[in-house]
Amino acid sequence: MKRRFVLIAALLAGSAPTLAQPGLPPEPQVREALDQHPTVLAAMARVAAARADGEALRAGPHEFQLTTSAIQRSVDRDGRYAEFDASLSRPIRLPGKARLDRQAGASGVAAAENRMEDARHQAALLLADYWWDWLGAAAEQQIDAQAVQNLERSLASIRRRAELRDAAPMEVDQAEAALGSARLQVQQSAGRAELARARIAAQFPGLALPAAPDDLPLPEMPQASLAELRALVIARSHEIGAARAEAERMQALADRARRDRIADPSVGVRAFSERSGQETGIGLIATIPIGGRHRSALADRAGSEAAAAEAMATAVAFDVQEMADTDVVQADAAWSAWQRSRDGAKAQVAAVLKMRKGYDLGAIDLADLLLAERQTQDMFRAEVQARTEALRAITRILVDSHSIWISDEL
């Protein structure tokens, strides 16, 4: 028993691995799982749709139009005549409109690509949360299971002492109650671990999961400072990129709508034959629509939508800056909290060892010892929870800064 607590104390005092963030699944498997997530696949399809829209805008909305007619005309005392008329025309975009169409299409593709990357980002955050839920709950389950074993041995010892009239029957009842509470806790932590694993399997079926997770590792602060990671969160944000590209697209469409107040003319050729070919002709035709209040209203609406998109891009930049600041505060606070909990766990180990020795010597009541045992279990659980939150917070800032899993350089 003493050896177990000494080993745990040594573990808590040990140095962490040199990896940027230990305990995570292999990055190639994670990347493949993220690419297969439905939200990422949907975003990929929207990129293809945006590229098709861009190609349509480059080609322009205008197409050739063929108009024909063939008739039989009858003239009194003159006979019947076959006549036909045909015209081929096409609207022509006025100067500047094609450039704006191409710009709107390119910006739409850029926005869709950034949204796709942000979908992968959100899927990565979801996986990280579920992953640490699983490892953290499994670590709590191990602590709770060890507590059950400790109390089972204590109960057996107290029962033997009670049979020898060296312990009161009430002490047996106290030990049994403590054991029942510990067994409840281990069932609860096991249920949380199983739930977290089921969530990972449901959301990321392509990610191979072991039957049981590895031990919860010690957190490791990344080599880059938190200030550097904060800057990367903002610089590499695809949310900002998508919002900025969308604002540019809406501005291009607004400029296009203003130019569209002057409608595109249609030009073409017309050929006809009358009186069975006695009269024929061919020539050029032109159609110029005359815009009115409708076109002006559409241009005003497009301008307002562009202004709204610009404001939303600014709002998204604010949100990302807030997220970066939050990541830094949470990572720093979680890291400090884990260190404090580790120190508390070491102190509690020393205290419970003294309580055990005092109970063996008859100087400490069983109730006091059981309380110390429970406090020790709670302290180790608190350390595991603080360690899990530190790992979660550090992983989050690494994902948000695109330093792992969704790195743009790989």
Q: What distance, in Å, lies between the first and last C-alpha atoms of the chain?
A: 48
Q: What is the pLDDT at residue 14?
A: 43
The better pLDDT of the pair 58, 171 is held by 58
Determine the average pLDDT of the residues in 265-294. Answer: 90
Coil vs helix vs strand at 88 = strand
147-203 pLDDT, tens digit per residue, is: 888 778 777 766 776 676 766 677 777 777 878 888 888 899 999 999 999 999 999
Burial of 284 (0-12, 13-18, 19+ CB in 10 A): exposed
Nearest-10 crossing angle of helices 238-259, 293-360 = 170
Confidence band of 388 (pLDDT split at 50, 70, 90)? very high
Predicted local distance difference test score (pLDDT) of residue 314: 97
Contact indicator for 22, 217 with CB cutoff of 8 Å:
yes
The pLDDT-based confidence of 75 (bands split at 50, 70, 90) is: confident
Reported as a single tens digit per residue, the pLDDT across 2-45 is 334 433 443 444 433 333 468 999 999 999 999 999 999 999 99
Q: What's residue 332's pLDDT? A: 95
More confident call, 377 vs 108: 108
Pull the structure tokens for residue 95: 């100067």
Q: Across residues 373-378, what is the average pLDDT?
A: 76
Determine the pLDDT at residue 108: 97
- Cα gap 227→166, rounded to integer Å: 62
Residue 113: what pLDDT? 97
Contact 285, 270 (CB under 8 A): yes
* pLDDT tens string 118-141: 999 999 999 999 999 999 999 999
Is 120:406 a contact under the CB 8 Å cutoff? yes
In this prediction, residue 378 carries a pLDDT of 78
pLDDT of residue 290: 87
Average of per-residue pLDDT across 279-301: 91
DSSP secondary structure letters along 64-87: -EEEEEEEEEEETTTEEEEEEEEE
Closest CA to 294 of 256, 263, 267, 265: 263
The percent of residues above 70 in pLDDT, for the chain, comes to: 89
Q: What is the pLDDT of residue 80?
A: 87
pLDDT at position 304 is 97
Q: Identify the pLDDT of residue 15.
A: 39
Q: What is the pLDDT of residue 363?
A: 67
DSSP letter, residue 260: T
- CA 145/CA 185 separation, integer angstroms: 9
User: Which of 138-147, 169-178, 313-322: highest mean pLDDT?
Assistant: 313-322
- The predicted structure's pLDDT at residue 107: 97
User: What is the arithmetic mean of pLDDT over 347-368?
Assistant: 71
Of the pLDDT bands very low, low, confident and very high (cuts 50, 70, 90), residue 253 is very high
3-state DSSP assignment of residue 23: coil
| pTM attached to this predicted model | 0.83
In three-state secondary structure terms, 268 is strand
Is residue 373 scored above 90 in pLDDT? no
For the chain, which residues make up each domain, given as ranges? 2-62+97-263+299-400
Q: What is the mean pLDDT of residues 294-323?
A: 96
CATH number, domain 2-62+97-263+299-400: 1.20.1600.10
The confidence score (pLDDT) of residue 92 equals 93
pLDDT for residue 5: 40
Q: Enumerate the β-bridge partners of residue 66.
A: 88
